[in-house]
């Protein structure tokens, strides 16, 4: 069985890497071929200079993505065949504590190694790539503070949960996976609930919307949509980037719609209302809850498989002679799952785009569809988003419909 899993891992991981590189190269070539002409329907809003900037920015990100994928591929292989075993031996030899504490130390060391390996990529992405195209506003001080806050949150929230999960694995026998999946589900709901009010404010400042005229229009939209909602906030996204966006987050009493301050500077009142109507569409159609329901199915299936593998001696001998332990089972499983689930990406992307279409339809029904089009075009322009991605690439990866398809769909809703 170990040899079968190893062979399948080699096939899936190598095939996945090749597919990623091919998709990136095909998309780069397609974007380059459409760099000299603004697509029909966008000529009045986006000039050739901004269109070509978006094409160059997209190609630069795709090229960087190939390098990142290669680094991730090499790092995974080194980790599976060398680092996991070396770190485990180091922890067992130098920390004579319970297996649960050893597991936390093991995870801590791996996290530190991962952070060091990924740091050059983060620095390049922020201070070279984003800086080159005029989007970066992050200072080295903010960059370092963000890293420190991330580490602190991992210690305060992640470590206690991992300890509890290891406790369940050790104490509940063969059915631990059921309790483990349930605990993970509760933890996931807690994070979604806590993120808007307690976690996100550690990194950005959120202030209630203070534009009286805009708030009046928003309240009218809420009434037209027959919804009960009043929590709309402005985030100081300009602290780190000039990219603009808006999103819906949280659930229960902590749900809110967040507008980037960079977005509000460029959109008119009518366009902001249209964007808000889109976000309310996600609320009305319960997209977050539906996505959670889908993830719950995969969650319990995943934990069931982990429960079987964690008790199998051959599972720890696939890549090297690793000593069986609960924390090693978690590590190996979490390393292998993305390799196999990568090929489900088009399915998840399609489901996400379906939600976006529903939210756009809702916006057209309760606001002005042309205002939504105008807002989106401004966002494409300000964020240097390519208007001409390769159809296969967008179907595989895009969580939102590509520009041309999305604008045409909204126009059909208007008509």
Separation CA 85–CA 93 (nearest Å): 12
Separation CA 396–CA 346 (nearest Å): 4
Is the confidence at residue 253, as pLDDT, over 80? no
Q: In a 3-state reduction of DSSP, which class is residue 375? A: helix
Cα–chain center distance at 202: 19
Predicted local confidence at residue 252, as pLDDT: 67
Separation CA 274–CA 167 (nearest Å): 49
Is the confidence at residue 47, as pLDDT, over 70? yes
Whether residue 121 lies in the annotated active site: no
Separation CA 137–CA 242 (nearest Å): 7
Predicted local confidence at residue 222, as pLDDT: 87
Query: In this structure, what DSSP letter does residue 402 have?
Result: -
Whether residue 371 lies in the annotated active site: no
Predicted local confidence at residue 228, as pLDDT: 74
Please state the rounded mean pLDDT for residues 269-292.
Answer: 89
Tens digits of residue pLDDT in 59-111 = 999 999 999 999 999 999 999 999 999 999 999 999 988 999 999 999 999 99
Percentage, residues of the chain above pLDDT 70: 99
Active-site annotation holder among 130, 271, 360, 371? 360
Please state the rounded mean pLDDT for residues 214-230.
Answer: 83
Q: What are the C-alpha distances in Å from 162 to residues 47, 154, 158, 339?
A: 52, 10, 6, 22
What confidence category does residue 249 fall into, taking pLDDT thresholds of 50, 70 and 90? confident
Beta bridge partner(s), residue 233: 208, 258
- Judge residue 401's burial from the number of C-beta atoms within 10 Å of its C-beta, 0-12 exposed, 13-18 middle, 19 or more buried: buried
- Judge residue 120's burial from the number of C-beta atoms within 10 Å of its C-beta, 0-12 exposed, 13-18 middle, 19 or more buried: exposed
Tens digits of residue pLDDT in 145-157 = 999 999 999 999 9
| Domain coordinates in residue numbering, the chain | 2-202+289-344
Active-site annotation holder among 279, 356, 371, 382? 279
Tens digits of residue pLDDT in 128-145 = 999 999 999 999 999 999
CA 233, 238, 243: angle at the middle one, nearest 5?
A: 95
Please state the rounded mean pLDDT for residues 220-235.
Answer: 83
Is the confidence at residue 320, as pLDDT, over 90? no
Predicted local confidence at residue 303, as pLDDT: 95
Is the confidence at residue 401, as pLDDT, over 80? yes
Its pTM stands at 0.90
Is the confidence at residue 36, as pLDDT, over 80? yes
Please state the rounded mean pLDDT for residues 390-414.
Answer: 95
Separation CA 16–CA 10 (nearest Å): 10
Is the confidence at residue 415, as pLDDT, over 80? no
Predicted local confidence at residue 77, as pLDDT: 95
* Mean of per-residue pLDDT scores for the chain: 92
Separation CA 144–CA 139 (nearest Å): 9
């Amino acid at each position: 069985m170990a040899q079968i899993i190893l062979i399948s891992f080699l096939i899936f991981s190598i095939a996945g890497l090749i597919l990623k590189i091919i998709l990136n190269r095909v998309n780069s070539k397609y974007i380059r071929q459409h760099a000299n002409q603004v697509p029909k329907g966008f000529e009045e809003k986006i000039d050739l200079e901004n269109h070509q900037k978006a094409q160059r920015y997209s190609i630069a990100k795709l090229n960087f993505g190939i390098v990142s994928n290669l680094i991730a591929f090499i790092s995974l292989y080194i980790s599976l065949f060398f680092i996991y075993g070396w770190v485990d031996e180091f922890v067992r030899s130098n920390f004579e504590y319970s297996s649960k504490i050893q597991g936390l130390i093991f995870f801590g060391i791996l996290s530190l190694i991962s952070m060091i390996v990924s740091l050059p990529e983060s620095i390049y992405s922020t201070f070279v790539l984003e800086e080159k195209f005029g989007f970066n506003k992050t200072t080295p001080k903010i960059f370092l503070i963000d890293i420190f806050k991330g580490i602190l949150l991992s210690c305060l929230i992640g470590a206690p949960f991992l300890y509890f999960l290891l406790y369940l694995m050790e104490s509940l026998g063969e059915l631990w996976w059921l309790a483990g999946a349930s605990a993970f589900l509760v933890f996931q709901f807690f994070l979604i609930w806590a993120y808007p009010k307690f976690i996100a404010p550690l990194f950005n400042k959120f202030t209630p919307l203070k534009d009286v005229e805009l708030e009046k229009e928003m309240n009218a939209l809420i009434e037209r949509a027959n919804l009960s909602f009043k929590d709309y906030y402005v985030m100081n996204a300009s602290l780190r980037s000039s990219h603009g966006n808006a999103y819906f987050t949280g659930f229960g009493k902590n749900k809110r719609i967040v507008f980037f301050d960079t977005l509000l500077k460029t959109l008119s009142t009518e366009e902001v209302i249209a964007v808000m109507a889109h976000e309310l569409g996600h609320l009305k159609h319960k997209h977050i809850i539906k996505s959670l329901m889908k993830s719950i199915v995969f969650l319990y299936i995943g934990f069931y498989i982990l429960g079987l593998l964690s008790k199998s001696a051959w599972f720890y001998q696939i890549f090297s002679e690793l000593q069986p332990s609960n924390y090693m089972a978690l590590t190996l499983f979490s390393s292998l799952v993305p390799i196999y689930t990568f090929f489900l990406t088009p399915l998840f992307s399609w489901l996400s785009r379906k939600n976006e279409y529903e939210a756009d339809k809702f916006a057209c029904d309760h606001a002005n569809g042309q205002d939504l089009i105008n807002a989106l075009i401004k966002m494409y322009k300000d964020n240097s988003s390519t208007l001409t991605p390769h159809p296969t690439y967008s179907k595989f990866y895009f969580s939102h419909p590509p520009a041309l398809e999305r604008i045409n769909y909204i126009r059909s809703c208007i008509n």
